[in-house]
């Protein structure tokens, strides 16, 4: 059964307690449950990970690229958190292994501080889902699944 990788960046382990007026009250465990439910309905396995460390995210991205090429994975859902706005290294990792990535943001970053309007991930992302809360994760998994089904 193919899998989908769901990666969460810095501070997403604090979902539910960090700025609930912006990010809502759902926890990272709630996000994982939503992702697993969506994947199960689509016949997929899920690798769900979170790290506050940029290097860990890069390692996981580099590992996933060859898995997609081998038909073991359909790609990744990435909420890079603040690294979205700062990390050329994540951009380069995604581009280097040609990983299909759906970039996800829980909040509408374009309605927030100007520094959040720029993404280093977007130019190498397959798609972007912004401002739909944690529902964006399920939509991203569905989009990757539909993309993979088309070949």
Distance CA(94)–CA(92), nearest Å, equals 6
Q: What is the pLDDT of residues 24-48, one digit of tens each?
A: 799 999 999 999 999 999 999 999 9
pLDDT at 20: 82
Does residue 96 have a known ligand-binding role? Answer: no
Does residue 107 have a known ligand-binding role? Answer: yes
- pLDDT mean across residues, the chain: 96
pLDDT value at 134 more than 90: yes
Q: How many structural domains does the chain have? A: 1
Q: Nearest-CA neighbor of 94 among 71, 72, 119, 111?
A: 119
pLDDT at 49: 98
* C-alpha distances in Å from residue 70, one per residue of 2, 63, 105: 10, 12, 28
pLDDT at 5: 98
Does residue 13 have a known ligand-binding role? Answer: no
The CATH number of the domain where 13 resides is what?
3.40.50.9100
pLDDT value at 115 more than 90: no
Active site residues: 23, 105
Does residue 106 have a known ligand-binding role? Answer: yes
pLDDT at 116: 83
% of the chain residues with pLDDT over 70: 100
Position 21 confidence tier, pLDDT thresholds 50, 70, 90: confident
Tell me which residue range forms the domain holding 143. 3-150
């Amino acid at each position: 059964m193919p899998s989908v990788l769901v990666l969460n960046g810095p501070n997403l382990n604090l979902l539910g307690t960090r700025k609930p007026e912006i990010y809502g009250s759902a926890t990272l465990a709630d996000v994982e449950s939503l992702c697993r439910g969506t994947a199960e309905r689509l016949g997929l396995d899920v690798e769900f990970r979170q790290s506050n460390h940029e290097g860990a995210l890069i390692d996981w991205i580099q590992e996933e690229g060859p898995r997609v090429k081998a038909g073991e994975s359909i790609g990744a859902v990435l909420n890079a958190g603040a690294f979205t706005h700062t990390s050329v290294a994540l951009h380069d990792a995604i581009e280097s292994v040609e990983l299909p990535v759906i970039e996800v943001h829980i909040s509408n970053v374009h309605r927030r501080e100007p520094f959040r309007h720029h993404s280093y991930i977007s130019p190498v992302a397959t798609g972007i889902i912004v401002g739909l809360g944690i529902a964006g994760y399920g939509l991203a998994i569905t989009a990757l699944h539909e993309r993979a089904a088309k070949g």
